Amino acid sequence: MAKTYSGDRETARHTMERETQQNTAAPHSQDETEQSGRDFEGHPKWHVTLSVMWAAQVFSIMGFSFVMPFIPFFVRELGVSERTVPLWAGLTGTAAGLAMSIMGPIWGWIADRYGRKSMVMRAMFGGSVVLALMGMARNVYELLLLRIIQGSITGTVPASVALVSSVVPKRRLGFSLGVMQMAVFTGGSIGPYLGGIVADRFGYRLPFGVTGALLLFGGVLVLFGAKERFVPPPPREKGEAPPLRVIFGTPGIPILLMLYMLMNLSGSFVMPIFPLLVEQIVGTPQQAASETGVLLAITGVAGAVAAASVGRWSDRFGHKRTLVLCTTIAALLCFPHYLAQTVPQLFFLRILFGLGVGGMMPAMNALVANTVPRSNIGQAYGFTTTASALGWAIGPALGGWAASILGYRAPFIIMGTLLLLVTIAQRRGLPSQPSAEGETVV
């Protein structure tokens, strides 16, 4: 077993060395020149693509999060008993996560062979149709089926990250992925706020149509604005290791995938519970959706600020150090949620929590992009999608089950404990990496 793992590591090292030699050699064609430029200095119009992808990601995440504040209330409206609302709300999240975990590597494999831009459009246009149909669900079983389809064909974040990672200069990778994570938090702050207001005034079905329109607009932006000039990879040489073996043979990748799963499991543990906790504190169901939207919005704003600044900071001081620090902050801020008694208290906690969460994912994505060969970047992010989606699938189900037994507050203690365990795994399991200043970051 040890011999096989050593061989995989050697294969990954030779693959990256071969790419380096090919890209530094004098190119013989325009395509080769463009490919070399993308690998080291980025696509000539990488800044245009980054700007377009930022805007498209804002609209897509705004759409997905538009319906987040009231999913448990929509489940209740579909006729399930009050006691099973958290279970069904968690199950719909689990179903989407499991479907995404299966399809993630497949879409990543297709992206590496046929282009990453087409995969972003697939996720946005497909999500537009499915989310619009959810507003027409007649019972919780139809909603569950549509959530499964959503998980199978969407995944705008990993698709967009793979596209951006393939066109930006390596020296700007942390900054660029921080910008993309800022888009996630920006859309995630605007969407719940507006969605909660619309739901309170017009009911729970209309917002799904708005979601579909927002995703459609994001897809159109990518279609006409993003620049890729994808060059298909050459046929695999005889005796060359397959991409799957190269990815998993790269030192640090297995632990990174495990951390993706654990981080998303921890983060989604209270996802179906938070709106119900807000309802419990507010006391009136009529205001719960809009109050939840405001709280999620302020979390997103804080996360966007953190992502933008932390991405640049991690390029200089090291992605591992940044990741450990941000995860620790987020973990410690979970525990006070148990004691919160008023909306202003939750408001303050969500701001601080957002500042911690905002820097976690840009650092993780930059670690992956700096570790695997760029020719396999789409498939690598496909596997991070699988790991993340498994976490998102398990987390809501466990959280909903815990809430049905322990109430709406105890899951925040469990979430904080899980994140503290994740920080220990990050510190001990991730390989040390040099910072931009040349020192080894441990």
pLDDT digits 0-9 by tens, 202-240: 999 999 999 999 999 999 999 999 988 777 777 666 666
Pairing label, strands 433-434, 440-441: antiparallel
Higher pLDDT, residue 174 or 334: 334
Tell me how far apart the alpha carbons of residues 190 and 300 are, in angstroms, rounded to a whole number: 8
HSE-CB for 178 with a 13 A CA cutoff: 22
Nearest to 147 by CA among 38, 272, 305: 272
Please tell me the predicted confidence (pLDDT) of residue 244: 67
CATH topology of domain 44-229+248-434: Growth Hormone; Chain: A; (1.20.1250)
Helix (H) or strand (E) holding 440: strand 440-441
pLDDT averaged over the chain? 81
pLDDT score at 396:
81
How far is the C-alpha of 237 from the C-alpha of 14, rounded, in Å? 13
End-to-end CA distance of the chain: 27
- Of 2-6, 89-93, 362-366, the range with the lowest mean pLDDT is 2-6
| Cβ atoms 419, 331 nearer than 8 A | yes
> In the chain, what are the domain boundaries?
44-229+248-434
Q: Across residues 374-387, what is the average pLDDT?
A: 78
Tell me if 416 sits within 8 A of 332, measured CB to CB.
yes
Of 365, 261, 273, residue with least CA distance to 320? 365
- Model confidence over 389-426: pLDDT tens digits? 888 778 888 888 888 888 889 999 999 998 999 899 88
Q: What percent of the chain is predicted at pLDDT more than 70?
A: 84
Residue bearing the bigger pLDDT, 210 or 31: 210
Q: What percent of the chain has pLDDT over 90?
A: 26
Give the least confident one: 6-15, 206-215, 422-431.
6-15
Interatomic CA distance for residues 344 and 354, integer angstroms? 15
- CB burial string 223-259: b at 16+ within 10 A, e below: beebebbbeeeeeeeeeebebebbbbbbebbebbbeb
pLDDT digits (tens, 9 = 90+) for 106-160: 888 888 888 889 999 999 999 999 999 999 999 999 999 999 999 999 989 888 9
| The pLDDT of residue 327 is above 60 | yes
In the predicted model, what is the mean pLDDT of residues 352-373? 84
